[in-house]
């Protein structure tokens, strides 16, 4: 990210970047606003810098190549500029940007140093988010550039006016997987979140069956949870769903992630050891939860729950049976689902689900929903 605090910027051109890196053996790609332009094939604003991306393991080779071509590489880290000393760059001290110029001239090129090995790109801010290089860096007409959803992910942290302009131009062109990644990563009152959720595809009954088939072919059991479990028990779809919640035994958790990964489902959010969210390029999003069937304890309310290496699912809550898309599926049981819809700030979707479950299965409405029942 360019700043005039340390001297003026006069960004070079893409053509000059190609000339400067001609013959460089290490891979590199365009990043920043130029990457988004290359994805869309058009321009909508001026740029005050030009960025390329490289792997950290390749930094010495790339920077040495530039220096031999007459460029001066200067490491920009923690608000300090330091001439590159010829060695590797340290992630722990935030050596993630190298500004380059001709000696005595303005800054012209920002080299962004990222993570990854020969197999996969790794998101610096969350190493659980990885992508095969073929998905992380795209190529068009011989020009390589960072995938748009990954570039917008970087831009989403400290949003500037130009970043919002960029996302408004690019987000409508993203596929479902790109939208799923951004929607899963952005939290709370992020200014982009409503737009991204509005663009993201819904999770359909056919999508649910695709996911269940992937797991079944891998010999893995799964129980439908969340909103789709409600509709499975009701044996009809009653509302739109953004994702599919599934519970699997602890021993099946990593194999399930592997099976889904083999079918293009990539991690879009890591919620800890027992909970990962994955999505494919279509935008089918799966929220996968692990429970440990080998451990049971009684909670303060006298409910037997699984503990150990997994989430605290109720021991007797896995006997639900319903249908999705005309197919019989295993799910969380009705009474258990109602209890899972308590203990937090419930919303209209929760009330929709609880009202229908309680009505169909003659269950009492929990006090959490008093404000809805008193309307």
For the ranges 163-177, 230-244, 292-306, 330-344, the lowest mean pLDDT is seen at: 292-306
User: Each residue of 240-292: pLDDT tens digit?
Assistant: 999 999 999 999 999 999 999 999 999 999 999 999 999 999 999 999 999 99
User: Each residue of 187-229: pLDDT tens digit?
Assistant: 889 999 999 999 999 999 999 999 999 999 999 999 999 999 9
Query: How do strand 244-249 and strand 223-225 relate by DSSP bridges?
Result: antiparallel
Where in the chain is CATH 3.30.460.40? 205-373
User: Each residue of 130-148: pLDDT tens digit?
Assistant: 999 999 999 999 999 999 9
Whether 349 has a pLDDT exceeding 60, the answer reads yes
Average pLDDT over residues 8-17: 96
User: Each residue of 70-111: pLDDT tens digit?
Assistant: 999 999 998 899 999 999 999 999 999 999 999 999 999 999
Tell me which CATH code domain 4-146 carries. Answer: 3.30.460
Rounded Cα distance, 170 and 42, in Å: 11
> Do 81 and 107 contact (CB within 8 A), yes or no?
no
User: Each residue of 293-336: pLDDT tens digit?
Assistant: 999 999 888 889 998 999 999 999 999 999 999 999 999 999 99
Assess if CATH 3.30.460.40 describes domain 205-373: yes
Q: Of 185, 3, 167, which Cα lies nearest the Cα of 79? A: 3
Q: Residue 358: pLDDT band by 50, 70, 90 thresholds?
A: very high
pTM over 0.75: yes
pLDDT of 301 reads: 84
Calculate ∠ Cα 363-364-367, nearest 5°.
Answer: 145
Cα 97 to the center of its chain, rounded Å: 23
Rounded Cα distance, 150 and 244, in Å: 23
């Amino acid at each position: 990210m360019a700043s005039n605090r340390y001297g003026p910027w006069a960004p070079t051109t893409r053509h000059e970047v190609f000339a400067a890196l001609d013959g460089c053996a290490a891979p590199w790609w365009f990043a920043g606003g130029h990457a988004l332009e290359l994805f869309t094939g058009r321009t909508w604003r001026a740029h005050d810098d030009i960025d390329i991306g490289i792997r950290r393991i390749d930094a010495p080779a790339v920077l040495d190549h530039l220096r031999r071509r007459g460029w001066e590489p200067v490491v920009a880290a923690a608000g300090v500029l330091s001439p590159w000393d010829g060695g590797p760059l340290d992630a722990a001290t935030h050596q993630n940007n190298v500004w380059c110029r001709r000696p005595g001239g303005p800054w012209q090129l920002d080299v962004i140093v990222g993570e990854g090995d020969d197999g996969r790109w790794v998101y610096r801010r969350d190493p659980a988010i990885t992508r095969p290089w073929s998905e992380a860096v795209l190529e068009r007409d011989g020009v390589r550039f960072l995938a748009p959803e990954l570039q917008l992910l970087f831009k989403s942290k400290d949003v500037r006016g130009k970043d919002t302009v960029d996302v408004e131009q690019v987000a409508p062109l993203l596929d479902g997987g790109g939208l799923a990644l951004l929607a899963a990563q952005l939290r709370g009152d992020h200014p982009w979140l409503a737009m991204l959720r509005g663009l993201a595809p819904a999770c359909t009954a056919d999508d649910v069956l695709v996911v269940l088939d992937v797991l079944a072919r891998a010999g893995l059991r799964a129980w439908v949870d969340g909103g789709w479990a409600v509709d499975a028990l009701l044996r009809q779809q009653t509302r739109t769903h953004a994702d599919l919640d599934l519970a699997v035994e602890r021993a099946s958790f990593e194999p399930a992630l592997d099976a889904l990964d083999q079918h293009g489902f990539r991690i879009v959010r890591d919620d800890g050891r027992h909970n990962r969210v994955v999505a494919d390029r279509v935008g089918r999003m799966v929220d996968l939860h692990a429970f440990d069937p080998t451990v049971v304890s009684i909670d303060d309310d006298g409910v037997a729950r699984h503990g150990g290496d997994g989430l605290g699912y109720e021991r007797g809550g896995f006997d639900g049976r319903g249908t999705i898309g005309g197919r019989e599926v295993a799910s969380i049981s009705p009474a258990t689902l109602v209890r899972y819809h308590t203990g937090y700030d419930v919303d209209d979707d929760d009330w929709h689900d609880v009202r229908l479950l309680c009505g169909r299965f003659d269950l009492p409405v929990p006090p959490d929903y008093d404000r809805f029942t008193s309307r």
